[in-house]
Amino acid sequence: MRYISTRGRAAPRDFEGVLLAGLAEDGGLFLPETWPALSTAEWRALRGLPYAELSARLIHPFCGDALPFEALRAMTGAAYARFGHPAVAPLIQLDHRTFALELFHGPTLAFKDLAMQLLGPLFDHALARRGERVTIVGATSGDTGSAAIEACRDREALDVVILHPLGRTSEVQRRQMTTVLSPNIRNFAVEGDFDTCQDLVKGMFNDAPFRTEQRLAAVNSINWARIAAQIPYYAYAALALGAPDRPVAFSVPTGNFGNVFAAWAARRMGLPVARLIVGANRNDILARFLAANDMSVRGVEASLSPSMDIQVSSNFERLLFELLDRDPAATEAQMLRFREEGRMPVPNAAWRRATTLFRGFTLDDDATLAEIRRLKDTAGYLADPHTAIGTAAARALAPEDPGVPVVVAATAHPAKFPDAVEKATGARPPLPPALADLYGREERYAVLAPDLAEVEAGVRAHTRRNVAA
């Protein structure tokens, strides 16, 4: 399997190449040159498989010769054995046609663990084979950071630097990152929002000498391997509900567009997906795009669903490339204009194509609290604020055909956002036993200005220290 950049000017790579490269050198994102597709009979043959087996079978077509199937199967087996539920990603029925796909039974209680627990061993495998080490730089609005840190801590060939927006995550999210004191981990709190952090990460990748010197790698969903590892849970849910002989819809609380793009990729592989519902908080750029082709940045605002406090969604570029019939020059022109002007006039034909599958939905904080309360009252279900946006979106925008079930990506455990959940329901969700002492642990992080030179200096100081150690 070969991968090409959405901007067309970076050399194509194999799976291992894109795993280690992260962002393409031309600033674009990697995508498979051709999409693997399964026939109806092949999808049927996957029904009833355990999660680890299903994920190995669906991810392997993206790996090609770079990784033998048995090696990948051993990795998925070990990764998902760590999860706190035997189904790994259980499906919970909320009403007659709505289901929550719980993606938060991994070690850091958010959907990021599904991919990140696999990324750690994938990095190890590739780096051991090459005799190399890398510096991982990542940006987080709260969940990617802790999942990456948990997956990469104490791994010999990895140094990790995570940027989070100062004061803009929940306290549980921050502590999950900053209390990990492993010598290969470094946390920076940046005076800015998530978009600032993500921009700094891309700035480091686009600084070619620094990128080479530090041998940078990515754990954000700019890394194709993240998306590939998020595809199987959509198939797992759909197969359980009757696919490929029954279509399903997904409602996905969305920020960086990686999770819903993985659902789009599952559909591209032949899974019958009738609709993709994109849920947003007041940072509603994607909902405005889908409603009225208004892709314009208005500045990130803080909300009760901080992981979705994002305006510049990295993975939108992957969808845009597909909507523009894989025209890299047109994609690059759009992205450069978006960066310069903060708005992107997507050609009408491409926008209309997007709206045949995607619907956008926005929920403010008060309505999010009301939805958390409603779920508790009607289904006895405790949802975190991100998931609640997904369930409200599912009710509002379910397909007209009542025979199509709607699966909501339940992206985080309610205990990660105890203040919001308590405010909505009066009940404070306790942390699971493995994190029960989180508030008593020592924290370590440095506060940095949103300045590329300062951040690069911080990364250098971290990796030098590790080289010396």
Ligand X SMILES: Cc1ncc(COP(=O)(O)O)c(C=O)c1O
Q: Does 144 bind ligand LJ64HWYM (CB under 6 A)?
A: yes
Among 362, 411, 425, 463, binds ligand X (CB under 6 A): 411
Kind and range of the H or E run holding 5: strand 3-5
Residue 187's beta-bridge partner residues? 162
Pairwise CA distance, residues 348 & 355, whole Å: 11
Residues in Cβ contact with 291 at an 8 Å cutoff, skipping those fewer than 6 apart:
360
Say which entry of ligand X, ligand LJ64HWYM, none residue 281 contacts (CB below 5 to 8 A, set by partner kind): none
Say which entry of ligand LJ64HWYM, ligand X, none residue 247 contacts (CB below 5 to 8 A, set by partner kind): none
5 or 411: CB nearest ligand X: 411
Among 5, 117, 184, 220, binds ligand LJ64HWYM (CB under 6 A): 220
> What is the widest separation between alpha-carbon atoms in the chain?
62
Residue 189's beta-bridge partner residues? 164, 447
- Residue closest to 225 by CA, chosen among 78, 347, 67: 67
Q: Does 196 bind ligand LJ64HWYM (CB under 6 A)?
A: no
- Closest approach of ligand LJ64HWYM to the CB of residue 170, in Å: 11
Among 110, 162, 197, 393, binds ligand X (CB under 6 A): 110
Catalytic positions, written as ranges? 112
- Closest approach of ligand X to the CB of residue 147, in Å: 9
Q: Does 221 bind ligand LJ64HWYM (CB under 6 A)?
A: yes
Kindly state the number of chain residues that form the binding site for ligand LJ64HWYM, as judged by CB under 6 A: 13
Residues 350-369 that bind ligand LJ64HWYM (CB under 6 A): none
Q: Are 281 and 303 in contact (CB under 8 A)?
A: yes
CA distances in angstroms from 248 to 48, 70, 74, 88, 406, listed in the order given: 17, 31, 30, 20, 6
Tell me the torsion sign for CA atoms 447, 300, 112, 268: negative
List Cβ<8 Å contacts ≥24 apart for 301-304. Answer: 302/168, 303/364, 303/365, 303/368, 303/385, 304/365, 304/368, 304/369, 304/385, 304/417, 304/420
Residues 241-270 that bind ligand X (CB under 6 A): 253-259
Q: Does 27 bind ligand LJ64HWYM (CB under 6 A)?
A: no
Q: Does 146 bind ligand X (CB under 6 A)?
A: no
Pairwise CA distance, residues 127 & 119, whole Å: 12
Whether the bond between 121 and the residue before it is cis, its omega within 30 degrees of 0, is no
Among 32, 232, 247, 255, binds ligand LJ64HWYM (CB under 6 A): 255
66 or 421: CB nearest ligand X: 421
Q: Does 384 bind ligand LJ64HWYM (CB under 6 A)?
A: no
Q: Which two tokens stand for residue 46?
A: 């996957």
Q: Does 305 bind ligand LJ64HWYM (CB under 6 A)?
A: no
Among 232, 258, 279, 405, binds ligand LJ64HWYM (CB under 6 A): 258
Q: How many CA atoms lie within 13 A of 441 on its CB side?
A: 17
Kind and range of the H or E run holding 387: helix 385-397
Residue 361's beta-bridge partner residues? 279
Q: Does 368 bind ligand X (CB under 6 A)?
A: no
Among 5, 55, 108, 140, binds ligand LJ64HWYM (CB under 6 A): 140
Q: Does 121 bind ligand LJ64HWYM (CB under 6 A)?
A: no
158 or 240: CB nearest ligand LJ64HWYM: 158
- Closest approach of ligand X to the CB of residue 102, in Å: 12
Pairwise CA distance, residues 180 & 118, whole Å: 19
- Closest approach of ligand X to the CB of residue 51, in Å: 19
Q: Does 254 bind ligand LJ64HWYM (CB under 6 A)?
A: no
Site residues for ligand LJ64HWYM per CB under 6 A? 140-145, 220-221, 255-256, 258, 307, 314
Site residues for ligand X per CB under 6 A? 110, 142-143, 221, 253-259, 307-308, 386, 411-412
